[in-house]
């Protein structure tokens, strides 16, 4: 099964859909909680031996078809000279924030192999012990920019949107710099052992369709083109991705990760057979439902796509902290027992 996920990403026929989960290592896992009680998040992300240990946890617990690097979407900001803060309560943030146009102009990228060497080391530690493909990842430019401007989601993106609307040239410059940094960062990850990468532009859903076309798609395409010579599959994700799926397909990523609000079978018909789709069981449902309900919903999703190539089972978003381990295991094992028609 080593090549199952990579075959699916190449849109080749497979005996069953591969399965992995976004945020498959995290607070719902007892072994992760035990590590977290001894180490801060910053330590877990910045200590390669610890990050490698967490990366392996879902492989051992769930027998998923892919591993994903244990890291955070914000760490790339460190290559711009920023600090990442993980408070005891609330989400992480970047310090200091980018507050002026002059600061955007002055942003300079340090070599990622130096500033983010701990990520490279984590991948190098993980790769030899894996029998499944390894995902690397980074934040999408809009999402990382919003964190660097104000901390995403904390104030309704007021400052981010003010910059976008009132100073579009500087906002575009900011996004372009992040895209170039993302290319360097992802290339480093691939050379260190990543078999595929995923772009998490999580907060792109706050944009209108026209804004999405202007401030997301060109930079996603820039990143995809910047990795093309490595022949590495690139999966793209944002909340409410079903709203933008037809637009995303135009830039030809290897796959689109579909949120829980999208109908996978209808999207397959709308987009055609060329684009690989990933998703999209609801993370809240996985947390709140009974085990039998999870099995039934998983089978329903599998059967809706059973005659389709290019399909990867996942959630519509990441695993939520209070999700029962037994529900996650039921989801994975139901997929692994399924046979395509």
pLDDT tens-digit series, residues 20-77? 999 999 999 999 999 999 999 999 999 999 999 999 999 999 999 999 999 999 999 9
Backbone angles phi, psi at 279, to 5 degrees: 145, -160
Under 8 Å between Cβ of 223 and 179: yes
Q: Give all domains of the chain, ordered by start, each with its CATH number.
A: 4-336 (3.20.20.210)
CB 274 within 8 A of CB 255: no
Percent of the chain at pLDDT above 90? Answer: 94
b/e map of 121-140 (b: 16 or more CB within 10 Å)? bbbebbeeebebbbbbbbbb
- Rounded CA separation 114/137 (Å): 18
Over range 165-177, report the average pLDDT.
98
pLDDT (0 to 100) of residue 152: 74
Which phi and psi (to 5°) does residue 81 adopt? 85, 15
Q: Which of 137, 220, 119 is nearest to 178 (CA)?
A: 220
- In order of 94, 172, 215, the CA distances from 169 in angstroms are 23, 5, 11
Q: How many residues does the structure list for the chain? A: 341
- What distances in angstroms separate CA 165 from CA 45, 172, 292, 319, one per listed residue? 34, 11, 48, 34
pLDDT at position 307, please? 83
Contact 186, 112 (CB under 8 A): no
Band (308; pLDDT cuts 50, 70, 90): confident
pTM: 0.96
pLDDT at 313 over 90: yes
pLDDT given at position 284: 98
């Amino acid at each position: 099964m080593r090549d199952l996920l990579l075959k699916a990403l190449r849109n080749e026929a497979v005996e069953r859909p591969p399965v992995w989960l976004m945020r498959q290592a995290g607070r719902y896992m007892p072994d992760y909680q035990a590590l977290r009680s001894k180490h801060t998040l910053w330590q877990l992300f910045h200590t390669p031996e610890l990050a490698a240990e967490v990366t392996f946890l879902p492989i051992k617990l769930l027998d998923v078809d892919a591993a994903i690097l244990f890291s955070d979407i914000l760490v790339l900001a460190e290559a711009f000279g920023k600090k990442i803060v993980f408070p005891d309560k609330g989400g992480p943030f970047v310090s200091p924030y980018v507050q002026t146009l002059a600061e955007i102009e002055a942003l300079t990228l340090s070599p990622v192999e130096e500033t983010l060497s701990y990520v490279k080391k984590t991948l190098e530690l993980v790769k030899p012990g894996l029998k499944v493909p390894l995902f690397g990842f980074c934040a999408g430019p809009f999402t990382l920019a919003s964190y660097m401007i104000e901390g995403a989601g904390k104030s309704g993106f007021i400052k981010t949107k003010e910059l976008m609307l009132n100073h579009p040239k500087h906002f575009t410059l900011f996004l372009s710099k992040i895209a170039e940094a993302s290319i360097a960062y992802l290339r480093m990850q691939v050379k260190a052992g990543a078999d595929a990468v995923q772009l998490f532009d999580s907060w792109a859903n706050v944009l209108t369709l026209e804004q999405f076309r202007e401030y997301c798609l060109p930079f996603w395409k820039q990143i995809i083109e910047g990795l093309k010579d490595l022949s590495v599959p690139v999966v793209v994700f944002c909340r409410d991705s079903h709203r933008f799926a037809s637009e995303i397909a135009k830039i030809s990523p290897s796959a689109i990760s579909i949120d829980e609000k999208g109908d996978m079978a209808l999207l397959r018909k709308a987009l055609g057979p060329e684009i690989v789709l990933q998703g999209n069981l609801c993370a809240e449902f996985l947390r709140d439902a009974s085990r039998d309900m999870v099995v039934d919903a998983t089978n329903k999703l599998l059967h809706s796509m059973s005659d389709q190539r290019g399909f990867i089972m996942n959630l519509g978003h990441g695993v939520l902290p209070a999700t029962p381990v037994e529900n996650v295991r039921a989801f994975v094992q139901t997929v692994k027992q399924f046979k395509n028609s």
